[in-house]
C-alpha cells in the first residue's frame, strides 16, 4: 500500500483511511454529507496525489498524443487543458485523462491512479518516434481545492489572479512561496476551484499554508467519499464504474471528446458505431420510489425484462434524493422514461433524467 506525502496529516486529522487504487487514502473526516455540503457551498481540500502524471516532450509529442487520444489536442494552446480518453482496439476505453499543453513540445497527461502502469505501457507501445516520456507520478503531489470560495481562500498565496482564470486553463507560478507550481482551474466536483501540482517535498508546507490562508473561509479537508457524491451529482464518469475497457466513448456520452477529424486508435470502428447508431447508452436516472441504486444492480422495464445495469448510484446530498447512472437499451433512454432498478430482486421505480443531476 502506497502513502501520499500527506498521509500522516490525514491520520492526525482523524480521517478514516481506506485502500484505494493501491494507496492509503482518506475516505472521510467529519462525514460524507457534511464534507459534500462544505464543497458545494464553501471550500474544501482533497488530497488526490494518487493520480498519475506523465510528461511527454519532443518534436513528436503532439503527434503521439493525437494518435493515442480521442480528442483533438491540436486545438490546445499553451496553458490550456483538455479532457480526453485513450481508446483501446476493441471499442472500449483504456482510461480517461487530462491533457495539459505546456508548450509546443511539452505536454502533461494526468491519468487515473489505478491505471498508471497500464496507461504508461499503452502509450509507450505507440511511441515510435522517440518522444521523451517521464512518469513523474511518484514525485508529484496534487491537491484539489474546490468550492465557490476557493479563489478567495487561496488568493493571498499567489500573485496569479485566480478569479480571472478560465475553466480548463492553467498557469505555472509561485504558490505559498514555492516556485514552479502548476495552478489549474480544473476539478471533478462541479463546484469550481483549482488543482495544484507540486513536488512531494513541499507537501506539508503547501498544505499548512492553504489551511492558514483558508481559515477565514472555514476551509476543511475532504475525503474521497464526498468526491464521489459530488462528481455523481454532475454526471461525471468514474473509470472502473461508468467507463472501462468494454465501454465505448460513444455509448458513454463522450462523443464530444471523440473527434473524427483525425485518425486515432480504433477511430474507424468508433466512427462506424456512431454512424450505425448505438444499442445502449449511459444515462442518468433518479429514484421515484424509495431505494438506493448501487453499482451492478440490474435495470428492468415494466414487464421485468432486463434492459441494463447500474454503474454508479448514491443518495445525493445536495438533492435529497437517490440518483444513479447506468447503461440502458437505447429505446428506454428518452428523458422521463420509467425504468425499474432491481434492489434485492425487488423492482424499484425510477425515471431517466438529463445530466447534470445538480443544476
Task: Point out the annotated binding site for substrate.
Answer: 195
- Contact (CB, 8 A) for 167 and 118: no
Give all strands of the β-sheet with 106-111 in edge-to-edge order: 81-87, 93-103, 106-111, 52-57, 132-135
Count of CB atoms within 10 A of residue 279's CB? 11
Cell of 54: 506523465
SS3 278: coil
Sign of CA dihedral 137, 238, 108, 193: negative
Concatenated DSSP letters of 247-301: --TTTTT-GGG--TTS--TTHHHHHHHHHH--SEEEEEEEESSS----TT-EEE-
Q: Alpha-carbon distance 91 to 251, whole Å? A: 10
Q: Find where cell 480526453 sits.
A: 84
Binding site as annotated, residues: 195
Residues paired with 348 in a beta bridge = 341
Amino acid at each position: 500500500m502506497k502513502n501520499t506525502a500527506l498521509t500522516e496529516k490525514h491520520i492526525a486529522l482523524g480521517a478514516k483511511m481506506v485502500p484505494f487504487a493501491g494507496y492509503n487514502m482518506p475516505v472521510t473526516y467529519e462525514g460524507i454529507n457534511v464534507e459534500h455540503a462544505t464543497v458545494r457551498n464553501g471550500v474544501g481540500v482533497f488530497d488526490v496525489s494518487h493520480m498519475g502524471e506523465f510528461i511527454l516532450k519532443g518534436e513528436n509529442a503532439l503527434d503521439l498524443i493525437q494518435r493515442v487520444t480521442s480528442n483533438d489536442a491540436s486545438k490546445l494552446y499553451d496553458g490550456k487543458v483538455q479532457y480526453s480518453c485513450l481508446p483501446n482496439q476493441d471499442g472500449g476505453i483504456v482510461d480517461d485523462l487530462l491533457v495539459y499543453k505546456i508548450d509546443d513540445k511539452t505536454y502533461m497527461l494526468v491519468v487515473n491512479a489505478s491505471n498508471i502502469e497500464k496507461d504508461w505501457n499503452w502509450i509507450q507501445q505507440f511511441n515510435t518516434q522517440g518522444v521523451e516520456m517521464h512518469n513523474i507520478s511518484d514525485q508529484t503531489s496534487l491537491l484539489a481545492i474546490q468550492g465557490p470560495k476557493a479563489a478567495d481562500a487561496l488568493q493571498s498565496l499567489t500573485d496569479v489572479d485566480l478569479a480571472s482564470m478560465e475553466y480548463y486553463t492553467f498557469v505555472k507560478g509561485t504558490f505559498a512561496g514555492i516556485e514552479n507550481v502548476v495552478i489549474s482551474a480544473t476539478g471533478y466536483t462541479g463546484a469550481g476551484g483549482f488543482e495544484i501540482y507540486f513536488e512531494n517535498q513541499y507537501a506539508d508546507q503547501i498544505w499548512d499554508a492553504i489551511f492558514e490562508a483558508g481559515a477565514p473561509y472555514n476551509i476543511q479537508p475532504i475525503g474521497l467519499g464526498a468526491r464521489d457524491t459530488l462528481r455523481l451529482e454532475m454526471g461525471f464518469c468514474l473509470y472502473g464504474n461508468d467507463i472501462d475497457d468494454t465501454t465505448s466513448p460513444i455509448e458513454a456520452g463522450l462523443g464530444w471528446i471523440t473527434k473524427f477529424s483525425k485518425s486515432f486508435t480504433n477511430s474507424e470502428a468508433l466512427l462506424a458505431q456512431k454512424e450505425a447508431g448505438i444499442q445502449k447508452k449511459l444515462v442518468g436516472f433518479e429514484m421515484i420510489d424509495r431505494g438506493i441504486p448501487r453499482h451492478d444492480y440490474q435495470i428492468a422495464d415494466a414487464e421485468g425484462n432486463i434492459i441494463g445495469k447500474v454503474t454508479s448510484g448514491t443518495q445525493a446530498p445536495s438533492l435529497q434524493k437517490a440518483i444513479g447512472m447506468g447503461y440502458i437499451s437505447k429505446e428506454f433512454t428518452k428523458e422521463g422514461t420509467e425504468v425499474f432498478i432491481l434492489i434485492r430482486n425487488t423492482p424499484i421505480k425510477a425515471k431517466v433524467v438529463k445530466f447534470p443531476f445538480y443544476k
